[in-house]
Structure 1
Amino acid sequence: MKNDYRIPTIKFSKVYPLYVEKAERKNRTREEVDQVICWLTGYTKAGLQRQIEKESDFQTFFAEAPAIHPNSSLIKGVVCGVRVEEIEDPLVRNARYLDKLIDELAKGKALEKIMR
């Protein structure tokens, strides 16, 4: 898994606008992106905004997440050529779960199905 070693230090605030852009290109909304992120991490909208404002890296973002959703293990599929369910490092797996959820949102999947 090339570049996975960099994930902990990448600033969430730099990736978040890319998630929103990807979703908006496919006629989805920032609110839907936020819903998906909050579902996965347990953040409130205000808590998510605080993480963005303080420019947390992914390591901090996931370490401070109130609660990773218990159904996150139901997220399956390939992101960046790797099956997310086979990733052993919890931080990298959570980051890839988030990537997968944003991909599903951008592909038009219903929120009810994304938030298993």
Structure 2
Amino acid sequence: SGTHPVLYIDLEGEVFVHFVEVHTTRTYDMLIVESQRGGEKPAQTCSFMSHRARFEFFCGNPARQITIRLQNHSDNLVICDVNVWAEELKEEEEIRGHIQALHNIGMRSAVEGNFDRSL
């Protein structure tokens, strides 16, 4: 389809991210998560599918943005949930609230076929 299967999550400030969990509505062989501070090169981690369509990523570094992408750029990425475990509980709750508030937009864009949508 030619859509660029990428999801950007702006953490709205620097957050130490321990772990990212991604649930998708369909199965993929592999997802790639990049965590990035300021202008630095992103730290990249890959995850192969665990049970059903759940992917787990260990980050262990500070980040301002998290990018979730597919290995195959011609495929469509349909994400139904993202959980971020942070160093600070308050930050974690803010990120969860931020993701939850925009969750409907993501699901709507998934249905409409617009996958290059920032959270």
Whether the TM-score (by the shorter chain) exceeds 0.5 is no
Higher relative contact order (CA 8 A, sep 6+): 2
Point out the structure with the larger strand share. Answer: 2
Normalising to structure 2: TM-score of the pair? Answer: 0.30
